[in-house]
Amino acid sequence: MTPGARASAAIEILTRIDSGESPPADKAMADWGRGARYAGSKDRGAVAGMVYGVLRRRGQIDWWLKRLAALEPGETPSARLRLVIWLALGEGWRLTDMEASFTAAQHSASPIDQREKRILIELGSQEGFSLACQPVAVEGNLPEWLEEPVTALYGEDMARQLSAHGEEAPVDLRVNGLKGDRETLIARLAAEGIAAEPTPLSPIGLRLKERRPLTGLASFKEGLFEPQDEGSQLAALLCDARPKGQVVDFCAGAGGKTLALAAAMENSGRIVACDVSEARLKRAAQRLKRAGAFTVERRHMSTERDKWIKRRAGRFDGGFDRVLVDAPCTGSGTWRRNPDQKWKMTEADVEALTAKQSAILDSAARLVAKGGRLVYVTCSLLEAENEARVAAFLAERQDFFAHPMAEIWAESIGDAAPYPGKADAENLRLTPADHGTDGFFVAVLGRKL
């Protein structure tokens, strides 16, 4: 593909992401890739760089368009205009580069117009996206309404934290302990041309030295590993699920953490993987089979207050040692992977999600045996979805208490890695800037005897 054809493809993908159809960026990229058989690996990498570059810098890109008076009153920035700014400030293209590449030949983008020429001329001496006069939300590439809660969370460290959210996420793998160990998998991947090294915090994780396709590998098909962010691996380990235990994965989805729990329990005991989506549970079945995890019962629930929960709680007073609530959330901790999602979030979305999270916690708690644990996890940054939800739950449920997280780490992970949180904290926050993981929140709530 020519540079102009790559730019044309990026414009097409970005336009689709911004459309009423509005698929997530990773899906839009995958859909394009399936239809673009002619695109080689370098082409795909270049197009992805353009798409994710625009999405990660969208706040500053739109600010520059306004500063340059490049928009008519009421005009919404187009995917093409945003890409022009990205190419100029993110990839160093100049006016001559775009005139040579945007030719409409060989599937290239159409020639640049007078407005775009003026933008490129005015940006000719600008290096990078930042200017001292940019507002905090713009510098952090945030929607304006998110500035207050994120500033309250990060304070003076906000710029560093948000900068890390704008970087590309690594590819992490969780070693399937039912079929091998890290050293064996490192050697197996090396034989398949994949270089990997141990993750710094998770004792069951590997990190690829470069991004590579994985699903075609024999080691993947044999169930030796699953792609899973290191933070997600740690959240599963902090459940401290043990062999012969009784565990519920209350919001199991497609089974990522369920698989980790099954490995930790050495295929013994019982795991009930619950979800309101039957389709996700069907996908989980395929993954469980590949991993050789045979102690998992999948249960489709109508809502978070499904009748099965009431029956189970009534007969056995909960009866489960561990109940994991990997709650539906804004996913703001995964902005490295899904930078488009921050621009689709609204305050109303957060309000609806926090109500749902509280309802799920309240219902899931009924399944926890006396002396058992309720583990609350999100991949969100926002205090409203994290500390506030735990505080509200504990205020209502006097029979639960928060375990100090340093103690939970010592029990479940031990000295395999140093505890990465605050020594006296009742929860664990992981961030890309501090830990190299996606943003995660974990709280472990014990039920009193």
Catalytic residue selected from 239, 251, 329, 379: 379
Share of the chain above pLDDT 70, in %: 100
> Would you say residue 315 has pLDDT above 90?
no
Measured in degrees and rounded to the nearest 5, phi and psi for residue 42 equal -70, -40
Asked if residue 301 and residue 235 are part of one domain, the reply reads yes
pLDDT greater than 80 at residue 202 = yes
Q: Is 56 in the same domain as 179?
A: no
Number of structural domains (the chain) is 4
Distance of CA 223 to the CA centre of its chain: 22
User: Which domain CATH number covers 100?
Assistant: 1.10.940
Q: Say what the pLDDT of residue 179 is.
A: 96
Residues 191 and 326 in one domain: no
Please, which residues have CB within 8 angstroms of residue 375's CB and are 6 or more apart in sequence?
Answer: 235, 238, 239, 322, 323, 324, 325, 442, 443, 444, 445
Same-domain status, 286 and 426: yes
- Domain-ending residue, one of 183, 203, 227: 227
Mean residue pLDDT of the chain comes to: 94
Verify that 48 and 118 share a domain, yes or no. yes
- Specify whether 243 is located in the same domain as 222: no
Residues 387 and 433 in one domain: yes
CATH of the domain at 287: 3.40.50.150
Tokens of 93: 């293209």
- Counting residues of the chain whose pLDDT is more than 90, the rounded percentage is 88
Residue 391's domain comprises 230-447
Same-domain status, 217 and 312: no
For residues 397 and 407, is the Cβ–Cβ distance under 8 A? no
**Residue 245 pLDDT level (bands cut at 50, 70, 90):** very high
Amino acid at 13: I
Mean pLDDT, range 287-308, rounded to an integer: 94
- pLDDT given for residue 351 in this prediction: 97
Which of the four pLDDT bands, split at 50, 70 and 90, describes residue 318? confident
Do 128 and 139 lie in one domain? The reply is no
Confidence of residue 414 (pLDDT cuts 50, 70, 90): very high
Contacts (Cβ under 8 Å, ≥6 apart) of 156: none
Same domain, 114 and 145: no
Assess whether 292 and 427 both reside in one domain: yes
Report the C-alpha gap between 447 and 449 in whole angstroms.
Answer: 7
Can you give the CATH number for the domain in which 182 is found?
Answer: 3.30.70.1170
What confidence tens digit (pLDDT) does each residue in 87-129 have?
999 999 999 999 999 999 888 999 999 999 999 999 999 999 9
| CA–CA dist 143, 164 (Å, integer) | 17
Judge whether 274 counts as a catalytic residue. no
Residue 21 has pLDDT above 80, yes or no: no
Domain co-membership, 257 together with 387? yes
Binning pLDDT at 50, 70 and 90, where does residue 40 land?
A: confident
Q: Establish how many alpha carbons lie within 13 A of residue 377's alpha carbon, considering only the half-sphere containing its beta carbon.
A: 25
